[in-house]
Structure 1
Amino acid sequence: MGTGRRARGLVIKTLLLIGGALLLKRLTKSTTRWDHARIVAHSLSGQKFSMEQASRDPDNYFNFRMLTCPAAQMVDGSKVLYFEQAFWRTPQKPFRQRFYMVKPCPKDLKCDVEVSSYAIRDVEEYKNFCDRPKDQRPQPEEVLGDIAEHLTTVYLKTCERGKRCLYEGSTPPGGFPNSWNGANYCTSELAILKNNEMHTWDRGYDEDGNQVWGAKEGPYEFKPVPASISNDMFSPLNFHTQQSMEKRIEGSLVLQD
């Protein structure tokens, strides 16, 4: 009887050890390249505002609304996201529209995820894409056919332990060709932080290396807006302050790249 109990106890203990080992293996399993790509695509998606930064430094930053959502998937698994940016008070009038393609970095590059931006063949067809019911949007096969010229690619790496960010990276040295507002090339920096925050810094330079468009003081900081303060965004004071600031950048490359 005692021997039987000991035998059963040994079997249970062995099973628990095996189960614990399998669970530990699962928890410590390294994140795959496609896992990284999925995390980045998910982090890019959603609605974010630069409201806090604009309130803190209204001379250099504006309250923009950034909205991104899944639009299609390539045969190889790459995620295609639709992105638009607008002033917070006129979200129905985006001034920047792009497709983002998110996929793992090629194995020969020292990065984890690449995020490429592409122009859209007919931007009018895609205005407020994410806000529309799915049956009233261009469908995935249409999206794939509307991907136009490649604009930039940012190469992201996972951040070191202890840093606020999850992923960070930039365009390669020399950036990508860009002719807007006297530019010769442009660069982009991107950081994905915890709490669904994202920092972006797009700049254009002339052939002598002088910055001709984009924020100069540092990256734009986009954050989800807590419901508790969302109503403050639409106060009359904020509305008129933002309206006067918007007039100052009419025609500037803050609006396009």
Structure 2
Amino acid sequence: MGSGEEDTGGGGGAVRGAVLKALVVVGGVLLLRRLRRSTTRWDHARAVADALSGEKFSREQARKDPDNYFNLRMLTCPATEMVDGSRVLYFEQAFWRTPEKPFRQRFYMVKPCPKEMKCDVELSSYAIRDAEEYKNFCDRSKDQRPQPEEVIADIAEHLTTIHLSRCGRGKRCLYEGSTPPEGFPNNWSGASYCTSDLSIHKNGEVHIWDKGFDIEGNQVWGTKAGPYEFKPAPKSKYDDMFSPLNFSAPLSLEKKLDKAYVIDDQ
């Protein structure tokens, strides 16, 4: 009787051991498959769209270098999705003291780069047919916004396209890219064409450097010191966008529009 019980216990342990080994093997195979699964073109596009979305400020730059940078609020959120899967984002910028009065409004269209190009994400900006109707789009409840079909109808002329690539190992950024060297047509404030550089960082920052040049290649608007660095607002602020943002920046910043930043470039 005792011997029989001992044999049964030993057999049960062997079975449990075999099952455990099988689970480990299966788990290892699944993990290996997951690690080997390559990031798709649409994964990159979704990552860029998600990184651009939210409320971000150039507060720190304005404090450190008020002669070259304003404290601006950048706000981006999903507007609709195209049939091909491209994401359309609504984008606006305003001075932090007057977020209800954006001076720049755009639609961003985010999609994978064409297969023949050596980049990951194509980010195009478009004018808005009736920009006044879209002011504070992200701050409104969904039933108070223009609906998806209206958004598509209100996508106006193409402005710029930036081709973004995944940053190499060791860099602070996740994606970076720029417009072609020749830029895109732009006639604001004496410009003949404009260029844009964009980088998305691991900490949620978005760096944007927009510049305008005359026909001879002289820069006529945009910062010369470097890109604007927009850093994410605390989540509590984004959850309650209607609450006042009590940042201590000089009032004079908003009055010193000496072409350091484009206020109405299109």
TM-score, reference length from structure 1? 0.92
Which residue pairs with 2:224 in the alignment? 216
Q: Secondary structure at the match of 1:196?
A: coil
Q: Secondary structure at the match of 1:234?
A: coil
Q: Which amino acid aligns with 1:161?
A: R
Unaligned runs of 5+ in 1: none
Which residue in 1 is equivalent to 2:4? none
Query: Quick one: distance in 2 between partners of 1:76 and 1:148?
Result: 18
The answer on 1:126 being equivalent to 2:126 is: no
Distance in 2 (CA, whole Å) between partners of 1:169 and 1:251 is 24
Structure 1 stretches of at least 4 aligned residues deviating more than 4 Å after TM superposition: 1-5, 227-233, 250-253
Q: Which has the larger radius of gyration?
A: 2
Quote the Cα distance in structure 1 between the aligned partners of 2:198 and 2:126: 16
C-alpha distance in structure 2 between counterparts of 1:221 and 1:251, whole Å = 18
User: After superposition, where does 1:241-256 map in structure 2 within 5 Å?
Assistant: 241=250, 243-249=251-257, 254-256=262-264
Instruction: Output the CA distance in 2 between the equivalents of 1:250 and 1:131.
Output: 30
Q: 1:250 to 1:142 in 2, by over 3 A?
A: farther
- 1:39 paired residue among 47, 50, 56: 47
Identity %: 70
Normalized against structure 2, the TM-score is what? 0.89
| One-letter identity of the residue aligned with 1:114 | E
- The equivalent residue for 1:195 is 203
Q: Which amino acid aligns with 1:27?
A: L
Match of 2:92 in 1: 84
Task: Within 5 Å, give how 1:3-42 maps onto structure 2.
Answer: 5-6=13-14, 9-42=17-50
Q: Determine whether 1:149 maps to 2:157.
A: yes
Return the letter of the residue paired with 1:67.
L
CA RMSD of aligned residues (A): 2.3
How many residues matched? Answer: 253
Q: For 2:104, which of 68, 93, 96 is the aligned residue? A: 96
Matches within 5 A, 1:37-76: 37-76=45-84
Instruction: Report SS of the residue matched to 1:157.
Output: strand
Write 1 or 2 for the structure with the bigger share of helix: 1
List runs of 5+ in structure 2 lacking aligned partners: 1-6
Change in CA separation of 1:252 and 1:217 when aligned onto 2, cut-off 3 Å: closer
SS of equivalent to 2:118: coil
Over 3 Å counting, the alpha-carbon distance change for 1:23 and 1:139 in structure 2 is: same
Contact 1:180 1:253 in 2 (8 A): no
CA distance 1:122–1:250, shift in 2 (3 Å): farther
Residue 151 (structure 1) shift: 0.2
CA distance, structure 2, for counterparts of residue 220 and residue 192 of structure 1: 12
- Deviation (angstroms), 1:6: 3.5
